[in-house]
Amino acid sequence: MIHMPKLCVNVDHIATVREARKTIEPDPLAGAMLAIEGGADGITVHLREDRRHIKDRDVLVLRQNLKGVIFTMEMAATEEMAEIAKKIKPDLITLVPEKRQELTTEGGLNVTDQKEHLKRYIEDLHKSNLVISIFINADTDQVKTAKEIDTDFVEIHTGPYAENPDVKELKKVTDAINFSNKIGLKTNAGHGLNYENTAPIVNIPGIKQLHIGHSVISRAVLVGIKQAVWEMKQILK
């Protein structure tokens, strides 16, 4: 029996629409609940340093109201975020790189260059019984270092594949996922995945969760979020 990855829907861009007018709608929690009705196995948010979309209150309200699904908080490896995570206690924390001027996360976290800092950071979060993932490029050296610093998961960055979904880029992602599983890391994947390029990723064995946001929310503008999530879930099936 082939294992189907869980679908974790990132609702950041519901908040992006809200912040365009600095109003109270649309509500990320309402969108998250509809996404779950559509078949989402989890909800993901990125609490950025500049709070450009998701706010602290959003994270708190989502944590309080989401039951029976995976609640993932993406964040930079800063002291501020560590303190917030310890209070919120999401089901999964994904450490990501972050630059203020970027439109979205531009690449994986360079674990080899920040090995000692990340090792201490993860040790501290583990003391609060938090489960940690690191968003990394499809590179076996990065995967190996992530294992050495005792992360629980890695999330393989599928952005380069999504931009150029050819055999070469798919092989990079496949090799990284295979290697991660081989050395005993739980493995997720995400970034840039949409209704056209996700199926080949689903066919790679050993992916626990796919984290998909922009394409689902974009589709939801046209057909509604329940339908958009349902359509993506069919691809995973």
Distance CA 179, CA 223 (A): 38
Mapped to the 3 state alphabet, what secondary structure does 30-69 carry? HHHHHHHHCCCCEEEEECCCCCCCCCHHHHHHHHHHCCCC
Helices (H), 11-166: 12-21, 28-37, 56-65, 79-88, 115-126, 140-148, 159-163
The residue from 53, 157, 191, 211 that is catalytic is 191
As a whole number of angstroms, the longest Cα–Cα distance in the chain is: 48
Q: Reduced to 3 states, what is the DSSP secondary structure of residue 164?
A: coil
Distance CA 22, CA 230 (A): 29
The residue from 13, 53, 74, 98 that is catalytic is 74
Distance CA 232, CA 171 (A): 23
74 is catalytic: yes
Distance CA 75, CA 7 (A): 19
3 is catalytic: no
The residue from 13, 46, 157, 211 that is catalytic is 46
The alpha carbon of residue 105 and the mean position of all alpha carbons in its chain are separated, in whole angstroms, by 11
Residues assigned a catalytic role: 46, 74, 191
